[in-house]
Structure 1
Amino acid sequence: MPLIQWHFLLILLLSFLAINVNGFVDEIPGVRREIQRVQSMTSESMLDFIQKVNEIPSFENVLEAIINGQDQDGTNNNKCVADVALLLGALAVPGDKNLSLIAWTSYVVQNNFTNVCNVFPIDFLNQDPDAGTWIVLTLLLTILFLGISASIYDFFIYPSHKNEAYTKSLGIKAWRSFSIYTNIVGIFNTKGCNKPGNIGPLHCMRFFSMFWVILGHSSSLFLAGSANPADTIDIIKDWGTQVMTSAFFAVDTFFWQSGLLLSYIWVKKFYQNKRQATSPLAWVMFYVHRIVRLSPPYYILIVFYTFFFNKFIIHNMPIFIHLKAVEPCAKNWWIDFIYLNNFIRYDAQCYLVSWYLSTDLQMYLFAPLILVPFTFGPLFGIISSIVILAVSTAVNVYSVLYHYFPPTDFKYAPRSPKMDTSYDFYTMLIYNAPWIRCQIYIIGILTGFLLQLKKKMTIPWCYLVSWYLSTDLQMYLFAPLILIPFTFGPLFGIISSIVILAVSTAVNVYSVLYHYFPPTDFKYAPRSPKMDTTYDFYTMLIYNAPWIRCQIYIIGILTGFLLQLKKKMTIPWYVSVVGWLLTIVIAGGCIFSLKEWISGHPYEVGWAAAYSALSKIGWGLALSWLTIACYYGYGGPINAFMSWSFWVPLGKLTYSTYLIHICVVIFFTGNQQQDLIFTNFLQMLFMFVVPCVVTAYFFSIFWSSMFEISFGKLEDVLISALMGAPRRPPAPEAAANEIPQSPKPGDPDMSMGQIPYDQTGAAKVASETNENGGVESLRKRNGFYTDGPPKFNTNEKVATIRLTKLEEQAWS
């Protein structure tokens, strides 16, 4: 059976089992504590209460007497803290046990409940469609019609008409871009996935990172919606579940890959044609292509979630009926469209995971700071990367020390009583900040630089074992700030990357020390009593900030440069052994170092600052070493497993899966017709998390083919029509019997591993054609392809648009 068929059938079968898994379980035993909330109500049973609810007086005092808890700052002021889960409680009216008021409460689970707030009656189950609803439905139905009609044409008509002149017209090409059939075939096409020059392990990394993301989000929602949350808190104190609580490293992996692929692709284009790669049009398209490629599926998801899913699906689920009181999407959806939701109204974000795209774009904006120094030489690029990395780390450390922030974004861990901001502010300042996230981005850039610089590398067989819509796009927009320095030489590019990395790290350290932020974004862990901001402010300032996240982004960029420019590399066996040992130790330290804090023990602000600032750098370095070893063919069984063609379709679906997985998790949680009762981690994993993963990937097949791939093809068609058809240049004037001279070692074109323009004779072309598999191999030489036979053009503007990178199917 062809690969596409068994891939599709496997996902279809697993999706059916996932959607129907709840029907196999009537009751789950093993509750060790009493049921603290009642939530097993259907939409129909909710309707029975509506008439009585409006007649019931306020029950705020009764709720306070029942819960009698405190806020994070030790007061009992009936104020809803910003970082808590919104959960359901059914409360009996005194004197009449049959009359209930459905009260939605905001609280924190930390050893016990805190105070209750936001009590209100339910009177909004029935939602009426508005203008936005009809516009979204019209848009979706139009794209669906185009996709189905183009699929019918591609399957039945195009094979016999592909040589007709009308098939080359702009209208037909634009229409065929929406073909669901052709796009799905492309998703499952694994031909050539392991050819030389491809970074094989990336698809495997994407899948497991996406699984890790869904594990973190679904388990968090399961914890918040379970009837026995105190039981679920116990599992985060085990060593085995630290992988679940450290799921934020999956996002760092995506940032690292984004930086890696950015530098790996850009450096190759630069050394093929320096003038073309640094032309004004090339830099314009550097940003335009990124935004156009990522935005359509993201924008459609936001409007679908705001005007349809939120109104007619979530609000008919009893467990999510409270969201009507918040309703951030109706007011804030436009902020997501401009990729600034990690800064503007960061404490009322519309879609949970969209901050990533904003942070990535913000880092991309500044990427030339790292790329341009490399044009002056590797040393300049490395130094600039180290400086930026150091600044990012310093900002991280300062923020944590100043605000007493936690070491990471885990809301269920204790916080310092000195933390002086909200948790949302912490998330904005640290977790979502591009100036913090750029650390691992820079490491990815450096790794890509290595892979491009070193095409071959010898590593002796002496090592032991080896081991992801707003932030990414923001970093991407500024990526030329990293890329452009590389145009002056690799040294200049590396220097600028180091500078940005240093600045990001310094900002991270300063933010944590100043605000007493936690070491990472885990809301259930304790916080410092000196933390002087809300948790939302921490999220904005640290977790979502591109200036923080850029650390691993820069590391990815530098790695991409290395992979692209280094043709050969020899590593002594003892260096190889130390490298693998350090990779294991660093990755394990990043994941398991927070166990004591997550278990409820307070943290020292200095340790929190160090972890917040350095963990992403360490994670990026571990990923870089793993990728470098596998890229050069010395990853052994690890490389064989991670480069397996099975992961290719799953890797292609990662972006769409990331977009829609929150809808899937919400649907699984809200569709429960009985209490969500936690018994153990494996029960939650196989009965909830895995079904969410499988279902998300199944629906991402259609989301990707309809909105991601189709609009990407449409962009190529429209730009090609706008720029005009390329023309073949005149043949070289050399005589047929003239033997071409090879470049000498001292020639400028041989510097930094550049591929010189080779004007060879017909004999050499014929020889290469027979040796490498014919004209098709020549047409795809160096990872580029066109829509037809080989096309050449001396016009830089045309060439910039017509060349499409095979590896650029990656979303991160």
Structure 2
Amino acid sequence: KCINMNKYSLFVFALQSFCIFQASLDLQVFLESNQDMSHGLRIGVCVPSACPSDDLSLLVNSVAMDFGLTGSLRGCVVKQKPMLKVYEKVLMCFLSLLVSFVIVASALDVYLKRAGRKSDLAKSITAGATGFYIETFSAVTNTKRLLHVPDKKDMTTIQKRLAFFHGVRFISSCWIILGHGYLTIEPSATGELKRAMEFGRSWLWCLVGNAYPAVQTFLYMSGFLLAYNYLQFEKIKGARMPLHQKIVMLLLRRYIRVTAPLMFVVGCWLLVPLMFDGPLQVEHYGPFFETCQRNWWKVLLHINNLSDFFDMCLQHTWYVGVDWQIYMVIWVIPVLMARRPSLALSISTALIAVTSTIVFLQAYVNSYQPVSLYTQPYITATMAMMKAIYYRPHPHVASYVVGLIMGYYIFTKGLRSGSQMVTSRSKEDDRTTIKKSLRYFGWTTSIAVALAVIFVPYKWFSGAPWNGLDSAMYAGYSKFAWSLTLCWLTLVCVNGYAGPVNALLSWRPLIPLSRLTYGAYLIHSPLYLVRAGILRERFSIQHYHLVMEFFGCVTMAYMLSYVMYLVCEAPVARLEKLAFEGRRNPQDTSMRQGDEINRIERVRL
């Protein structure tokens, strides 16, 4: 109501601005009980927009000092027509162009397919280069590709056996979205903030506050599929391609597919201030929008995770930077696995031991938190740990390398058994036999380790000190332990011993959703940030409200991911494949077989 008052109102003869003032208590007892948690009284006031901000700040500070408080002006919002910046105009034109391509291509695609039943000309256009580019941007064709799930009888053996990755990917992404829903709450617009600190007193909070193993799951899958796909590539046509060309394909193709959706989301994010506003918009503009205006190039180069937290462009994209930095080094290991497997396995083992021990020593020497304890009032300590450890690539190397080793094992086991794991649709006798007693032991041990990784931090969430040896051990080796549980899950699913677990994870409706996971991850955090920025009233921290918002965010994230898939991901993937492989001959069966494996490689997040 405030900013909608203008000079034509009855009692107001100037534009109004909505300003937020904060008064902080300087009571020592309050500071000691809450440490460095943000605190204070925030008040929204409607004032004429002609009032200079310096005068308002001086006024509120003078009044606050009379009561022993420290006052500050947090920012003012004025309703006025936005002046488009150059980059905003460029982004809007670019997005409009992409959408136009999709609309026109979709219409032409539908017309040509219908006309092709009667017209030879339409058939020839569809079969030619023009038809390829039309299908590249066609929402109709790309939607069919997205939703296509072959029947089990039409699946290759390896597609069947690795289908559980689709379910793991979707569930892990939902776990991350749930955790971020609790952690991206705006403290200054929250009622009963103390309740958030009490969450850690419940064991169940570990399922939300300790969602970090989901990140290791994605790194494990990335390592597994990198090793398996590269070894399969070597088997099919590796001898015909020089090593330097393989390296270019490994790095450049992955860079394109990972970076294009990421930069698309960054571009859309920079346009958000034109679409939404709220009382906290001014406060959020600096840390959430100006950082992207300044540091978009860091996102492009995948070094965003090396910046300070409040200088990152979209903080959740730290993962993409870490994944790429590990990939740039780790690709050497699959190459060695194809040539000198003993050396590759030795290097892998050394990497796991060294990187895990480095994290252990960092945590022990500096008394870093074992995980991010956001329910504790020591925000400075949490941010210090995240900057020194969690946002860096070395703590996550173990999960990636364990995935590499498991991918190598599954591939070589298939070859030793004489199985054509890529093409066979009938042979099932190449499965590894696991004795019943070993299965019981493996399931019991893996479940126990997984529960320990998830619930051991309860003691620190509930307030126990984290400067002991157990805390450092957890920080250093928990990621490796979680990856070992994923090795067991992979082993039993691939060899048919997972029963209902494999049936659930391989459920056919999860396959299209899993293909949208990368986009959903990139989009979900901006949705939560928009929620915080447009709040008009205090937000009540209750599990019911947060869980309801989680389901809404998952739904919106996947819907918008589908839109991004049509406009960005699918066209880029098709054009990238054209650039590196050319248009394929439909009669080239070996190429089609290799592509079946490449479809599974889309496990990125």
TM-score, with structure 2 as normaliser? 0.83
Within the alignment, does 1:719 sit opposite 2:517 as a pair? Answer: no
* Gap change, CA 1:650 and 1:792, over 3 Å in 2: closer
* Gap change, CA 1:689 and 1:59, over 3 Å in 2: closer
SS in 1 for 2:601: helix
Of 486, 493, 499 in structure 2, the residue corresponding to residue 630 of structure 1 is 493
Aligned-pair CA distance for 1:43:
6.5
**8 A contact 1:87–1:319 mirrored in 2:** no
* Gap change, CA 1:135 and 1:447, over 3 Å in 2: same
Within the alignment, does 1:143 sit opposite 2:98 as a pair? Answer: yes
Aligned-pair CA distance for 1:328:
1.5
- 2:284 corresponds to which residue? 323
Counterparts of 1:86 and 1:358, CA distance in 2: 33
Counterparts of 1:669 and 1:67, CA distance in 2: 30
SS in 1 for 2:328: coil
Within the alignment, does 1:434 sit opposite 2:393 as a pair? Answer: yes
Query: Map of 1:674-685 to 2, 5 A cutoff?
Result: 674-679=537-542, 681-685=543-547
Query: Map of 1:699-710 to 2, 5 A cutoff?
Result: 699-710=560-571
Counterparts of 1:122 and 1:398, CA distance in 2: 46
Counterparts of 1:578 and 1:642, CA distance in 2: 22
Letter in 2 for 1:90: I
Deviations 1:14-69 (Å, cap 9, x if unpaired)? Answer: xxxxxxxxxxxxxxxxxxxxxxxxxxx98658999996779x9x977x53448985
- 1:647 corresponds to which residue? 510
Query: Map of 1:369-380 to 2, 5 A cutoff?
Result: 369-380=332-343
- 1:388 corresponds to which residue? 351
Report percent identity of matched pairs.
21
Aligned-pair CA distance for 1:318:
1.9
Counterparts of 1:202 and 1:226, CA distance in 2: 38
**8 A contact 1:360–1:434 mirrored in 2:** yes
Structure 1 spans left out of the alignment, 5+ residues: 1-40, 75-80, 94-100, 104-114, 459-565, 726-785, 794-798
Deviations 1:355-376 (Å, cap 9, x if unpaired)? Answer: 1111101011111342233234
- 1:122 corresponds to which residue? 76
**8 A contact 2:102–2:139 mirrored in 1:** yes
SS in 2 for 1:364: helix
Letter in 2 for 1:601: A
SS in 1 for 2:43: strand
Of 425, 449, 468 in structure 1, the residue corresponding to residue 408 of structure 2 is 449
Of 123, 139, 155 in structure 2, the residue corresponding to residue 180 of structure 1 is 139
- 2:422 corresponds to which residue? none
Letter in 2 for 1:257: M
Counterparts of 2:505 and 2:415, CA distance in 1: 19
**8 A contact 1:373–1:384 mirrored in 2:** no
Of 301, 304, 307 in structure 2, the residue corresponding to residue 341 of structure 1 is 304
Query: Map of 1:50-61 to 2, 5 A cutoff?
Result: none
Query: Map of 1:539-554 to 2, 5 A cutoff?
Result: none
Counterparts of 2:435 and 2:515, CA distance in 1: 36
- 1:89 corresponds to which residue? 42
* Gap change, CA 1:804 and 1:711, over 3 Å in 2: farther
* Gap change, CA 1:389 and 1:145, over 3 Å in 2: same
Counterparts of 2:41 and 2:166, CA distance in 1: 40
**8 A contact 2:181–2:546 mirrored in 1:** no
- 1:260 corresponds to which residue? 224
Letter in 1 for 2:278: M
* Gap change, CA 1:251 and 1:278, over 3 Å in 2: farther
Within the alignment, does 1:614 sit opposite 2:477 as a pair? Answer: yes
- 1:587 corresponds to which residue? 450
Deviations 1:675-725 (Å, cap 9, x if unpaired)? Answer: 32134x234212x1111111111121111121111111111223345xxx6
Higher strand residue share:
1
Letter in 1 for 2:457: L
**8 A contact 2:370–2:475 mirrored in 1:** yes
- 2:211 corresponds to which residue? 247
Letter in 2 for 1:154: D
* Gap change, CA 1:227 and 1:588, over 3 Å in 2: same
Deviations 1:720-760 (Å, cap 9, x if unpaired)? Answer: 45xxx6xxxxxxxxxxxxxxxxxxxxxxxxxxxxxxxxxxx
**8 A contact 1:456–1:632 mirrored in 2:** no
Aligned-pair CA distance for 1:455:
3.3
Within the alignment, does 1:811 sit opposite 2:584 as a pair? Answer: no
Q: Count residues with an aligned counterpart.
A: 560
The structure, 1 or 2, with the larger RCO (C-alpha pairs under 8 Å, 6+ apart) is 2
Deviations 1:100-155 (Å, cap 9, x if unpaired)? Answer: x999xxxxxxxxxxx98864331566442111111111111101011011111222
**8 A contact 2:231–2:338 mirrored in 1:** no
- 1:312 corresponds to which residue? 274
Deviations 1:147-168 (Å, cap 9, x if unpaired)? Answer: 0111112222235448744434
Aligned-pair CA distance for 1:211:
0.8
Letter in 2 for 1:149: V
SS in 1 for 2:269: helix
Counterparts of 2:41 and 2:239, CA distance in 1: 62
Deviations 1:641-699 (Å, cap 9, x if unpaired)? Answer: 111101101101101111111222233444445432134x234212x111111111112
Counterparts of 2:302 and 2:453, CA distance in 1: 29
What is the aligned-residue RMSD (CA, Å)? 3.7
Letter in 2 for 1:179: S
Greater Cα shift, 699-708 or 187-196: 187-196
Counterparts of 1:87 and 1:801, CA distance in 2: 60
Query: Map of 1:21-100 to 2, 5 A cutoff?
Result: 44=4, 62-65=23-26, 70=31, 89-90=42-43
Letter in 1 for 2:395: I
* Gap change, CA 1:243 and 1:422, over 3 Å in 2: closer
SS in 1 for 2:84: coil
Letter in 1 for 2:227: S
Query: Map of 1:771-782 to 2, 5 A cutoff?
Result: none
Counterparts of 2:492 and 2:587, CA distance in 1: 35
**8 A contact 1:263–1:449 mirrored in 2:** yes
* Gap change, CA 1:65 and 1:155, over 3 Å in 2: same
SS in 1 for 2:390: strand
**8 A contact 1:211–1:693 mirrored in 2:** yes
Aligned-pair CA distance for 1:290:
0.3
* Gap change, CA 1:617 and 1:376, over 3 Å in 2: same
SS in 2 for 1:392: helix
Counterparts of 2:336 and 2:459, CA distance in 1: 42
Counterparts of 1:792 and 1:439, CA distance in 2: 34
Letter in 2 for 1:706: V
**8 A contact 2:112–2:126 mirrored in 1:** no
Deviations 1:588-610 (Å, cap 9, x if unpaired)? Answer: 00110011111122123422221
* Gap change, CA 1:67 and 1:216, over 3 Å in 2: farther
Letter in 1 for 2:496: G
SS in 2 for 1:63: strand
SS in 1 for 2:398: helix
**8 A contact 1:102–1:122 mirrored in 2:** no
**8 A contact 1:342–1:359 mirrored in 2:** yes
Letter in 2 for 1:790: D
Of 59, 82, 87 in structure 2, the residue corresponding to residue 132 of structure 1 is 87
- 1:788 corresponds to which residue? 586
SS in 2 for 1:382: helix
Of 444, 461, 464 in structure 2, the residue corresponding to residue 598 of structure 1 is 461
Counterparts of 1:45 and 1:227, CA distance in 2: 28
Letter in 1 for 2:136: S
Counterparts of 1:389 and 1:181, CA distance in 2: 45
Query: Map of 1:722-801 to 2, 5 A cutoff?
Result: 786=584, 788-790=586-588
- 1:206 corresponds to which residue? 169
Higher helix residue share:
2
